[in-house]
Amino acid sequence: MSEPASISAGIAARYATAIFEIAEESKSLDSLETSINDLATALADSAELSELINSPVVSRDAQGAAIIAVAEKMGVDPIVRNTLALMAEKRRLFVLPALIDALRARLAEARGEVTAEVISAKALTKTQSEKLAKTLAERVGKKVTINASVDASIIGGLVVKVGSKMIDSSIRSKLNSLQNAMKEVG
């Protein structure tokens, strides 16, 4: 992880901890989840919003007013809205994507869920995805949500990441291992 990314992750983690604890105390975790999902969608759909949170040219006041207006229009939870105002005041809105990721992780942890990153050569069918989630859930002991992506360069098989564990059963990795073994022999 690069230094700026780790700084962003550290800032986001502190804000996420505070937001999560306040939401948990006030029993508004569902509202929090809805709000962060709405914000994530807005960030993905709006280049202007992404530019607003990352622009050093926009003043603190303008950034704060704009993000609060967007949050109010979207009906964002007051805890999140107040945090966004504070982040704008401190010029830290650039960590919003990392904050959303950190909050999603905290919410999943509170529900006893874990997300598995799965890379396959072809898109997984619904049945394959469900079977994989069930198998991983038995191994991990928690409910598993599959976040699947496709990378044709792995040729076949799967690369599965759950937390800090990774299982690479791709054909590309097996070919690389075979190639290395052949280099050692010759």
pLDDT tens digit string along 20-38? 999 999 999 999 999 999 9
pLDDT in tens, 160-184: 999 889 999 999 999 999 999 888 8
SS3 of residue 116 by DSSP: strand
CA distances from 82 to 19, 86, 96 (A): 10, 6, 13
How far, in Å, are 45, 95, 125, 127 from residue 130 at the CA level? Answer: 29, 33, 9, 5
Interstrand relation of 113-120 and 143-150 (parallel, antiparallel or unpaired) = parallel
pTM of the complete model beyond 0.85: no
- CB-hemisphere CA count at 13 Å for 90? 14
| Domains parsed from the chain with CATH numbers | 3-109 (1.10.520.20), 113-185 (3.40.30)
Burial code of 113-122, b = ≥16 C-beta within 10 A, e = fewer?
A: ebebebbbbe
